[in-house]
């Protein structure tokens, strides 16, 4: 396939913000693509070369790309740099340079998708001495034969900034339009949820049709998309929803980890499917020492513990290990963790996700030996409010956040990748309607004044609207940051700066700076109100108003474990608002 065809698709995707239209554009492209090209184009459309869980990421430094562009187009580096300052995006800069500067050379050969992909692979994997030269050489080789439009997307890909806003659910829509019926979409989504590899699902679909996709199963080594919980604010509501009784577990406050265990090793993945194996060598060793099963996939929460008292420590202590290469062994010693296991998804060759929770738990408990570092989550099956309340108090006393209620009915399977009422979280913050945390996405910022001059004065925060794949503003966040956090925030956000409001952000406010939705912050809100300015859940409570969070405060927790689409949703906020109202009325 010619790369030009894919670049044309990107031009069309770039020109629309409608999810339906995006799915249609992709579907007609998918129909005509060879299986391997289809697979690769799915990754590339999402700004990747491989599925999410592969460690190799595209992300060439701007500086290196500027150098390469300057040399390929015969322009001064400084000119390219200045154009970038003006336009913000090196893809557009490249496209303009090609239009004005570059003559097609006699020796240029049309680019194929396979050639571009292979070159990008080499760029992403070359490391060590001389790697910069080799990256530039690989890139120059394809840029040499590129047209203006092709160069635009190659530059966006190689810097990891595709920003087409094509969510996985849109790709799934497109695949089902191209290869299945509307009713069969679930089969494709399920395959994605258990393999976390949309490219592989696409390739399988185009080679073997829906039957092929049906045969994709849970496999050790392929992370499974996490099952998520809904929230409710009282034991009475939870028990009613669960049909009178259910299992309650401690809700540990740590890092969710999915462990893939085989004879030849253990791999750990985060809730966002990043590999965490390197960060938790102690957990890997503990699993190796106490698992008796030959192969298994288990899930649990890694919680920091105080080795002197045996008590859990705040979540922040475990975040000291994140992204740490040096001093990891000190961090392991200083902040040891306990892996509290709550689920089993695969055991000795058998997919366990369709078993009920009590069966999964029974199998889990006999698959390892309990140690100080490896324990089964505390669980009780309860059917009355008082018992739940006292278990809740025990959980809080033991340093947990609250309880997780889990349905134990015949349908209590593991629903990969979905949030539903089979699991319901009940946290301590819910006891006061004015004291709850939400995870919000930074979409814009306002210039600082006075002491904050040169920094951002306040950030424009948004919730995620799943149905429309958009980010809706809920508040201006200015408090809770200390000076160091403010400086750090400036650096982090700079990487996501864009010239204008992102096309998936709904805002009636004009911010001074705009960002692509990427950074998620935990925010403690005092109150949810209806606001004419904010756009979250707009029109649901009041015809001409959205929801706003009043008196928001940054808790200090940057949710690096959450992507923007995993932030609190507008629907969740709406439910919280309604629950609050109910309490006030009572």
User: Would you say 405 or 548 has its CB closer to ligand ATP?
Assistant: 405
What is the torsion angle, in degrees rounded to the nearest 10, for the CA atoms of residue 39, residue 40, residue 41 and residue 42?
50
Among positions 37, 89, 197, 301, the unique one binding ligand ATP when judged by CB under 6 A: 301
| CA-to-CA dists, residue 256 to 252, 265, 291, 338, 526, angstroms | 9, 20, 19, 12, 27
Among positions 19, 251, 415, 557, the unique one binding ligand ATP when judged by CB under 6 A: 251
**In the bound complex, what is the minimum distance in angstroms from residue 228's beta carbon to ligand ATP?**
4
Using CB under 6 A as the binding rule, whether residue 163 contacts ligand ATP is answered as no
CA gap 404, 417 in Å, rounded: 17
User: Would you say 145 or 301 has its CB closer to ligand ATP?
Assistant: 301
Using CB under 6 A as the binding rule, whether residue 396 contacts ligand ATP is answered as no
User: Would you say 164 or 229 has its CB closer to ligand ATP?
Assistant: 229
Stretch that binds ligand ATP, among 67-75, 248-256, 272-280, 331-339 (CB under 6 A): 248-256
| CA-to-CA dists, residue 481 to 121, 446, 452, angstroms | 39, 15, 11
CA gap 473, 570 in Å, rounded: 9
CA 298 from chain centre, in angstroms, equals 20
Using CB under 6 A as the binding rule, whether residue 395 contacts ligand ATP is answered as no
**Among 58, 243, 217, 239, which Cα is nearest to 153's?**
58
Q: Which of residues 264-283 bind ligand ATP (CB under 6 A)?
A: 271
Main-chain dihedrals φ then ψ at residue 23, nearest 5 degrees: -65, -40
CA gap 321, 71 in Å, rounded: 41
Number of residues that make up the chain: 586
CA gap 418, 291 in Å, rounded: 28
3-state secondary structure of 532: coil
Among positions 1, 140, 180, 228, the unique one binding ligand ATP when judged by CB under 6 A: 228
Stretch that binds ligand ATP, among 40-48, 89-97, 250-258, 469-477 (CB under 6 A): 250-258
Stretch that binds ligand ATP, among 118-126, 245-253, 289-297, 537-545 (CB under 6 A): 245-253
CB distance 462 to 474 below 8 Å: yes
140-158 core/surface letters (b: 16 or more CB in 10 A; e: else) = eebbbbbbebbbbbbbbbb
For residue 251, indicate whether it is catalytic.
yes
Among positions 189, 197, 355, 566, the unique one binding ligand ATP when judged by CB under 6 A: 566
CA gap 260, 224 in Å, rounded: 10
CA gap 77, 63 in Å, rounded: 9
Using CB under 6 A as the binding rule, whether residue 249 contacts ligand ATP is answered as yes
Stretch that binds ligand ATP, among 179-187, 243-251, 462-470, 485-493 (CB under 6 A): 243-251
Q: Which of residues 347-386 bind ligand ATP (CB under 6 A)?
A: 377
**In the bound complex, what is the minimum distance in angstroms from residue 103's beta carbon to ligand ATP?**
52
Among positions 252, 269, 346, 368, the unique one binding ligand ATP when judged by CB under 6 A: 252
**Among 188, 180, 247, 203, which Cα is nearest to 35's?**
203
Neighbour-count burial of 526, counting CB atoms closer than 10 A to its CB (0-12 exposed, 13-18 middle, 19+ buried):
middle
Token code pair at residue 295:
């192969």
Q: Which of residues 401-440 bind ligand ATP (CB under 6 A)?
A: 404, 425, 439
β-strands 497-498, 379-382 pairing: unpaired
User: Would you say 37 or 436 has its CB closer to ligand ATP?
Assistant: 436
User: Would you say 315 or 456 has its CB closer to ligand ATP?
Assistant: 315
Stretch that binds ligand ATP, among 13-21, 70-78, 84-92, 247-255 (CB under 6 A): 247-255
Main-chain dihedrals φ then ψ at residue 404, nearest 5 degrees: -110, 125
The one catalytic residue among 251, 427, 476, 557: 251
User: Would you say 250 or 335 has its CB closer to ligand ATP?
Assistant: 250
3-state secondary structure of 346: strand
User: Would you say 102 or 256 has its CB closer to ligand ATP?
Assistant: 256
CA gap 258, 271 in Å, rounded: 8
CA gap 455, 492 in Å, rounded: 12
**Among 554, 447, 465, 552, which Cα is nearest to 505's?**
465
User: Would you say 87 or 230 has its CB closer to ligand ATP?
Assistant: 230
**In the bound complex, what is the minimum distance in angstroms from residue 573's beta carbon to ligand ATP?**
13
Residue nearest to ligand ATP (CB): 256
Using CB under 6 A as the binding rule, whether residue 463 contacts ligand ATP is answered as no
Token code pair at residue 353:
């996700």
Q: How many residues bind ligand ATP (CB under 6 A)?
A: 15
**In the bound complex, what is the minimum distance in angstroms from residue 256's beta carbon to ligand ATP?**
3
**In the bound complex, what is the minimum distance in angstroms from residue 287's beta carbon to ligand ATP?**
18
Among positions 6, 229, 247, 266, the unique one binding ligand ATP when judged by CB under 6 A: 229
User: Would you say 153 or 464 has its CB closer to ligand ATP?
Assistant: 464
Token code pair at residue 581:
């109202």
Using CB under 6 A as the binding rule, whether residue 197 contacts ligand ATP is answered as no
User: Would you say 117 or 252 has its CB closer to ligand ATP?
Assistant: 252
CB distance 31 to 141 below 8 Å: no
Using CB under 6 A as the binding rule, whether residue 338 contacts ligand ATP is answered as no
Residues of the shown chain interacting with ligand ATP in the complex, contacts defined by CB under 6 A: 228-229, 249-252, 256, 271, 301, 342, 377, 404, 425, 439, 566
Active site residues: 251
């Amino acid at each position: 396939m010619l790369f030009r065809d894919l670049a044309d698709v990107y031009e069309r995707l770039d020109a629309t913000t409608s999810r339906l239209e995006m799915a249609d554009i992709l579907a007609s492209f998918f129909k005509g693509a060879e299986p391997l090209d289809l697979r690769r184009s799915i990754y590339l459309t999402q700004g990747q070369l491989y599925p999410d869980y592969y460690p190799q990421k595209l992300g060439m430094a701007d500086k290196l790309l500027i150098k390469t562009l300057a040399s390929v187009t015969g322009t001064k580096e400084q000119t390219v740099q200045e154009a970038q300052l003006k336009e913000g995006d090196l893809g557009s800069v490249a496209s303009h340079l090609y239009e004005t500067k570059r003559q097609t050379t006699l020796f240029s050969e049309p680019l194929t998708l396979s050639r571009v992909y292979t070159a990008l692979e080499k760029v992403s994997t070359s490391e060590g001495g001389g790697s910069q030269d080799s990256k530039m050489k690989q890139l120059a080789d394809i840029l040499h034969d590129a047209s203006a439009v092709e160069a635009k997307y190659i530059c966006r890909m190689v810097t990891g900034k595709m920003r087409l806003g094509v969510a996985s659910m849109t790709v799934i829509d497109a695949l089902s339009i191209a290869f299945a019926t509307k009713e069969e979409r679930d089969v494709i989504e399920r395959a994605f949820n258990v393999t976390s590899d949309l490219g592989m699902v696409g390739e399988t679909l185009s080679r073997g049709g829906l039957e092929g996709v049906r045969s994709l199963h849970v496999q050790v080594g392929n992370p499974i998309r996490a099952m998520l919980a809904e929230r409710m604010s009282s034991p009475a509501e939870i028990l009613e929803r669960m049909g009178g009784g259910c299992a309650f577990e401690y809700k540990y406050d740590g890092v969710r980890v999915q462990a893939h265990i085989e004879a030849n090793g253990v791999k750990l993945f985060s809730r966002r499917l990043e590999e965490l194996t390197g960060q938790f060598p102690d957990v890997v060793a503990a699993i190796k020492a106490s698992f008796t099963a030959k192969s298994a996939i288990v899930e649990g929460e890694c919680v920091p513990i105080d080795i002197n008292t045996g008590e859990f420590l705040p979540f922040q202590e475990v975040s000291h290990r994140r992204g740490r290469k040096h001093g990891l062994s000190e961090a392991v010693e200083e902040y040891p963790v306990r892996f509290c296991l709550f689920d089993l998804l695969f055991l000795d060759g058998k997919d366990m996700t369709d078993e009920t929770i009590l069966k999964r738990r029974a199998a889990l408990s006999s698959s390892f030996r309990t140690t100080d570092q490896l324990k089964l989550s505390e669980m009780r099956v309860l059917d009355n409010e008082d018992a739940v309340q006292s278990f809740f108090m025990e959980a809080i006393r033991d340093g947990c956040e609250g309880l997780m209620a889990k349905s134990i009915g015949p349908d209590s399977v593991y629903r990969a990748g979905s949030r539903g009422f089979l699991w319901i979280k009940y946290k301590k913050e819910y006891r006061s309607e004015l004291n709850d945390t939400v995870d919000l996405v930074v979409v814009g910022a306002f210039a600082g004044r006075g002491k904050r001059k040169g920094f951002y004065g306040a950030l424009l925060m948004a919730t995620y609207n799943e149905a429309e794949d958009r980010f809706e503003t809920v508040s201006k966040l200015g408090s809770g940051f200390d000076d160091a956090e403010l400086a750090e925030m400036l650096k982090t956000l700079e990487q996501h700066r864009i010239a204008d409001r992102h096309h998936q952000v709904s805002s009636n406010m004009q911010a001074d700076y705009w960002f692509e939705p990427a950074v998620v912050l935990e925010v403690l809100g005092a109150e949810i109100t209806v606001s004419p300015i904010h756009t979250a859940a707009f029109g649901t409570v009041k015809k001409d108003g959205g929801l706003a969070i009043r008196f928001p405060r940054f808790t200090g927790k940057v949710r690096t474990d959450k992507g923007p689409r995993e932030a609190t949703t507008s629907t969740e906020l709406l439910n919280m608002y309604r629950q609050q109202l109910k309490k006030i009325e009572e």
